[in-house]
Structure 1
């Protein structure tokens, strides 16, 4: 095989693992962009040092070892990404103030397609999808970096304790101890069990159709009927979050009234249903990006509406259009 053909073959072999590695790094780092940077760094390191790869482990295991080291290096600063509800209590709508926080504070959304590889086993796919939910990734942020790696490798990716020990250059006993401590910490944070999106059942589809109709029609009575009594509403990069459908509706009819007449396009983020939210332009000739909404469902009703407002970052990441023309809107 020629040198160029060998290089191309290696590139193909490495690329086969990109999606699952991005998912792993996203769970470790809580940032879609940092995860992609980490995987790119992993690929470059693997390419440069491939002549030292002796094949004593699989190529996949070797790549995970490199990716883990990259993530651990990135986490040495001790930064922990969070959702607004991880930082403070809810604010009554009458006292609501919009205080932006730096981007590095926030847990970031991620498109399903960038972190969820195709899986033949439905049970494995369900675990993979469940483990990128915002609540679960937020819970992971409470773990020290190595415990985080152990929990993900053992619980999400189903690696054996001996495999994890080899990857981390430690003992099986140490891995088992780290896993036990990580499980205890996760249990304390109690991430809510929200319903994942693939596939949507008929009840979920009907709920989301009613949500779109209520939101686009700005029908607050219909929207209230879809929300849990203690539903949550967040708007990163602002640290404000609201709890309870009364405060959510009061916000939407007050400071958020500019969302009247909006349009929603469905997408998928963090294993749950999501929508690209477009507000009408001032001229009324179309719609411009306003938020990426991630909708969490519990027991047949909406439990959380996460509205990520930095659309200049999120819409390109999700391959969403930066404008909707009114004449092309099939729902108008």
Structure 2
């Protein structure tokens, strides 16, 4: 793939980069793949800009290119998932549960809000953007065939008209409406409408308490912030836990190496999150995990702990390698 420096690109293209990253992330389920897709979109647009005659809006033209890039990437691929999608039964909070592991390409990956949510959008639009990058929603999207996925996102998230989507996909309005109906049915069947709450001051206060307890490794204090039936999974491992007692047991057992960690509060996938650097032998800290917290009724209902086992997650998300 040709790599373009930012200062080589036409400013008109750069204006759309963040929203295209969000679109490609929802399509692909990976912030890493989304970066690559947007880069390829920019390369194709840069090469074709001289022949662009304004027959359609520049934004529509870029979405056409991005959609084709994503469809190419998805061709022949297995869908990405989250550990709880693979097994109906929770695992035991013991070291042996770490035996099953899958490569990074098997999993839905996280994205920081700042990478895909427009800072200058009005609050209502920001809320839509955050809701549509929720992990449950992005994981549910992966059940859709690629073209249905594009139709759903263009119609329901971006609010394009059916005729606009039909033009982008070289299809018909009837075909687009049919694809949308099937996509909605699949999303409902896989639970895409799971409860979620918008970010507000109460969530930020809860995250602050969670960060404080984690840094002190006050497991009792952490467990008190969880729902009784809270769940946690830890990609790239297949295991997942249910119940605050088992989560606490894990933290005091196989997860005890996280004691003494440094953490940083942030937002990811439209939810409170914290980046974690774990202490290493001989001193210092190394990137370890990004924890995304799903909150319900004032407590943490689920923890998605994305482990940075290859020192690549933090770098690709733009997080510092060392805590500040």
User: What is the TM-score when the length of structure 2 is the normalising length?
Assistant: 0.92
Q: Please give the residue correspondences for 1:286-297 in structure 2 after superposition, counting only pairs within 5 Å.
A: 286-297=284-295
The gaps in structure 2 that reach 5 residues or longer are 1-6
**Structure of larger gyration radius:** 1
Aligned residue for 2:79, secondary structure, equals coil
Paired residues in the alignment total: 314
Q: Which residue number corresponds to residue 92 of structure 1?
A: 92
Cα deviation code 1:145-184 (max 9, x no counterpart): 0110000001100101110011011111111111111111
Structure-2 residue corresponding to 1:187: 188
What is the deviation of 1:119?
Answer: 4.1
Q: Deviations over 1:225-259 (max 9, x none)?
A: 21112211111111111111111111111111111
Structure 2 Cα separation of the partners of residues 258 and 32 of structure 1: 28
The unaligned stretches of length 5 or more in structure 1 are 1-7
Match of 1:226 in 2: 225
Match of 1:104 in 2: 105
Is 2:113 aligned against 1:115? no
Deviation at 1:141, TM superposition (A): 0.3
Superposed structure 1 runs of 4+ greater than 3 Å apart: none
The 1:278–1:164 alpha-carbon spacing in structure 2 relative to 1, beyond 3 Å, is: same
Shift of 1:9: 9.5
Tell me the alpha carbon deviations over residues 272-310 of structure 1, each in whole angstroms, 9 at most, x when there is no partner: 111111222323x43322211111111211011111112
Q: Does 1:79 align with 2:81?
A: no
2:142 aligned partner: 141
Distance 1:231 1:212 in 2: 17
Superposed CA RMSD: 1.8
Contact 2:287 2:308 in 1 (8 A): no
In 2, are the aligned partners of 1:143 and 1:185 still within 8 Å (CA)? yes
Give CA deviations for 1:67-90 in whole Å, capped at 9, x if unaligned.
Answer: 111111111113211111111132
SS of the aligned residue for 1:147 comes to helix
TM-score, structure 1 as length reference:
0.90
